[in-house]
């Protein structure tokens, strides 16, 4: 049975994208140095190749290696993941998603202040439209 193509990265692909978003173009070995866990060289190389074929990455030859860059934009990718989660798990209810997030994350006062500021900015932006 053929695996359906997801409209967003798998967890392993998302980990690689976050590394590339944060650290810029990297070789297989450099990606390995930033990863959690102990995936072998061949596993990481295969993952990067699949991501390249899916159009998530671009690459440039550098000697005998490739230097990979994220082709997928961070904001666009995260928006798709959140949109899918919101629709599938929360039936489109943003309040249910936020309540669940708060219960899971247990944000400290600094994070709660940032969340309040984001809500205020959102409300002001909505009023200005």
CB burial string 113-123: b at 16+ within 10 A, e below? eeeeeeeeeee
Q: Is the pLDDT of residue 28 over 90?
A: yes
d(CA 60, CA 112): 42
d(CA 9, CA 57): 11
d(CA 48, CA 17): 10
- The beta-strand segments (E) located in 27-102 are 57-62, 65-70
Q: Is the pLDDT of residue 5 over 70?
A: no
Q: Tell how far CA 6 is from the center of its chain.
A: 13
- Two tokens, residue 12: 């392993």
pLDDT band for 23, please (50, 70, 90 cuts): very high
Total number of residues shown for the chain:
129
Neighbours of 91 (CB within 10 A): 9
- pTM for the predicted model, two decimal places: 0.79
- Two tokens, residue 119: 């809500």
pLDDT band for 1, please (50, 70, 90 cuts): low
């Amino acid at each position: 049975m053929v695996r359906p193509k997801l409209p967003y990265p798998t967890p392993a692909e998302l980990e690689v994208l976050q590394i590339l978003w944060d650290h810029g173009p990297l070789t297989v070995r450099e990606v390995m140095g930033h990863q959690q866990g102990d995936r072998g060289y061949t596993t990481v190389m295969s993952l990067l190749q699949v991501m390249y074929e899916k159009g998530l990455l671009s690459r440039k030859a550098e000697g005998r290696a490739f230097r990979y860059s994220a082709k997928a934009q961070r904001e666009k990718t995260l928006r798709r993941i959140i949109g899918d989660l919101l629709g599938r798990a929360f039936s489109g209810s943003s309040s249910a998603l936020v309540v669940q997030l708060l219960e899971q994350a247990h944000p400290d006062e600094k994070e709660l202040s940032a969340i309040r500021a984001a809500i205020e900015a959102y409300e002001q932006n909505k009023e200005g439209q």
